[in-house]
Amino acid sequence: MKRSISAILAVLSLCACSTSLPETFSDACAAELFPDYSYVTIPDNIAPLNFNVTEDCEACMVEIGGKIIKARHGLVSFNRGWWKKTIAKTDSLSLTVYSRKGREWVRHEPFTIRISHDPIDSYLSFRLIPPGYQGWNELGLYQRCLETFRETPILENRLTDGNCLNCHTLNNRDPETFLFHSRASFGGTYMLMNGESKVVNTKTDSTAATRYAYWHPNGRFIAYSVNDTQQNFFASNPDRIEVYDNSSDVVIYDVEKGAMFWSEQIRSKDSFETYPVFTPDGKNLIFCSAKAVAGLPESFREVKYSLCMIAFDPLTGSLGEKVDTLFSAPRTGLSVAFPKVSPDGKHVVFVVQDHGSFAIWHKDSDLWSIELPSGEAKPMIELNSSDGESWHTWSDNSCWLAFGSRRDDGLFTKVYISHVDENGNASKPFLMPQKDPLRFYHDCMNSYNLPEFMTGPVAVRQKAIARTLKHASPEATTLRSESQ
């Protein structure tokens, strides 16, 4: 018996091909890779950064940290256990790609991947939606564990008669306190607060259904925008679509009282206000505001949003009188959207574009940041591309910024992640890893919409969420003057 086992092992060991580096090779420039992970900074808890060598070659292998990995059909795939162990104990990985065409091996210019020991939030939530939609045949909210490749649905709209689901928003990245809107059949805002769920009808006699939301850090208030949004296709513009608001306002919802309130500074007939966010200390409300423009959609280029800030008292739920301008559209001739304040309160990152507020369809949209409290604004050059950058989210430790970008094909938004140091300097972003990234992203017919970091997974099962949406009677919203 022992002999047989030994014989089998011997045969197996002979059969097992031990990969070794080629003995002779010539040197060449950097290899073409997808995604381009060269010189990126990654967290030490990220899933393996598998990549594809897209060089025109017959075989290739990669040397990384003394290990040689043979690519299968160009795919360099790392063992998860090895990857986890390796990146936990090093600050940098050096990779060298070898490729063979005919009998000639080529050694490509090595590159490094820097490892940051600032951990990234373990989950990212997003909506998957086909680009360019007006209807919504098939979409859903999903969560992706960034430490693995596991992607699971939070709610797919096949469970809710194919309706639209949008604007999922978490309070401080907490998966136990979040909301999203459900449209058409089962219309209402689904809210999960510390494990308890309900549906709220945020429409009132004075305000239409709410759209973009942001939780106050104390969980009692939610700032909403109320938008009358339309979209039109361009006949011959690379931007393809212009999404614009015929009108928009910012209102605040008191979760405890189920009441809506506002002041004329955030809800004015003469201006469009949108994208409200609270500062992490909860004492200010930041929002975008543009002078109202008539004659839309033809006059869409005249709509330019400034970044504004108003004081907010969380104890009384009252807004200040004075509106400060953090970034002025009239002065710069530019328009801002999607402001997000880092959890440490040091930086506001937002999108800057020529006009309008819907950056997803603007190829010129770039990420900018303002340092607080100095107010100095600058473009985040490392993050921007020739195509559009849009929705972004800060990690809990303010060290990572995930954002949507169309840089790869100009149409399908993908999630890129970048490290941001304490001075607000961003590193070269890396594409959210996948098992087989080239195949995955090429076959993916959806955009990654509204990425939001989460400190853990949403624990409520999607069937339970669907049941609540279908059967719970939506709570009515009153106006604060009526509720008091």
Residue 128 vs 251, nearer CB to other proteins: 128
Q: Which residue has the tokens 């880092």?
A: 342
If one counts every other C-beta atom within 10 angstroms of the C-beta of residue 281, the result is 11
Q: Does 133 bind other proteins (CB under 8 A)?
A: yes
Residue 88 vs 411, nearer CB to other proteins: 411
Residue 52 vs 169, nearer CB to other proteins: 52
Query: What are the C-alpha distances in Å from 241 to residues 171, 401, 451?
Result: 31, 26, 21
Q: Which stretch binds other proteins (CB under 8 A): 134-142, 267-275, 278-286, 394-402?
A: 134-142
**Residue positions counted in the chain:** 484
Could you say which residues in the range 297-356 bind other proteins, by CB under 8 A? 297-298, 300-301
Q: Which stretch binds other proteins (CB under 8 A): 16-24, 40-48, 135-143, 201-209?
A: 135-143
- Candidates 156, 397, 412, 479: give the one binding other proteins (CB under 8 A): 412
Those residues whose C-beta lies under 8 Å from the C-beta of residue 331, and which sit 6 or more positions away, are none
Can you say how many angstroms the Cα of residue 481 is from the centroid of all Cα atoms in its chain? 37
Q: Which stretch binds other proteins (CB under 8 A): 95-103, 252-260, 294-302, 454-462?
A: 294-302
Residue 72 CB, nearest approach to other proteins (Å): 14
- Candidates 79, 94, 232, 425: give the one binding other proteins (CB under 8 A): 232
Could you say which residues in the range 32-51 bind other proteins, by CB under 8 A? none
Q: Which of 36, 31, 35 is nearest to 106 (CA)?
A: 31
- Report d(CA 72, CA 58) in Å as an integer: 10
E strand spans, 342-444: 347-353, 366-371, 376-379, 389-394, 400-405, 414-419, 430-431
- Candidates 445, 459, 464, 476: give the one binding other proteins (CB under 8 A): 445
- Report d(CA 45, CA 43) in Å as an integer: 5
- Candidates 92, 94, 185, 237: give the one binding other proteins (CB under 8 A): 237
- Candidates 66, 81, 102, 135: give the one binding other proteins (CB under 8 A): 135
DSSP 426: B
Residue 438 CB, nearest approach to other proteins (Å): 11
Residue 21 vs 411, nearer CB to other proteins: 411
The answer to whether 351 touches 359, Cβ cutoff 8 Å, is yes
- Candidates 282, 343, 345, 410: give the one binding other proteins (CB under 8 A): 410
Q: Does 238 bind other proteins (CB under 8 A)?
A: yes
- Candidates 443, 473, 481, 484: give the one binding other proteins (CB under 8 A): 443
- Candidates 9, 88, 411, 459: give the one binding other proteins (CB under 8 A): 411
- Report d(CA 98, CA 266) in Å as an integer: 59
Q: Does 195 bind other proteins (CB under 8 A)?
A: no
Can you say how many angstroms the Cα of residue 207 is from the centroid of all Cα atoms in its chain? 28
Q: Does 236 bind other proteins (CB under 8 A)?
A: yes
Is 438 in a helix, a strand, or coil?
A: helix
Residue 138 vs 382, nearer CB to other proteins: 138
Residue 134 CB, nearest approach to other proteins (Å): 6
Q: Which of 416, 283, 250, 277 is nearest to 348 (CA)?
A: 277
- Report d(CA 150, CA 148) in Å as an integer: 6
Those residues whose C-beta lies under 8 Å from the C-beta of residue 163, and which sit 6 or more positions away, are 136, 157, 182, 183, 184, 185, 186, 187
Q: Does 131 bind other proteins (CB under 8 A)?
A: yes
- Report d(CA 366, CA 345) in Å as an integer: 21
Residues near other proteins, by CB under 8 A: 130-135, 137-138, 232-238, 240-242, 297-298, 300-301, 408-412, 439, 442-443, 445
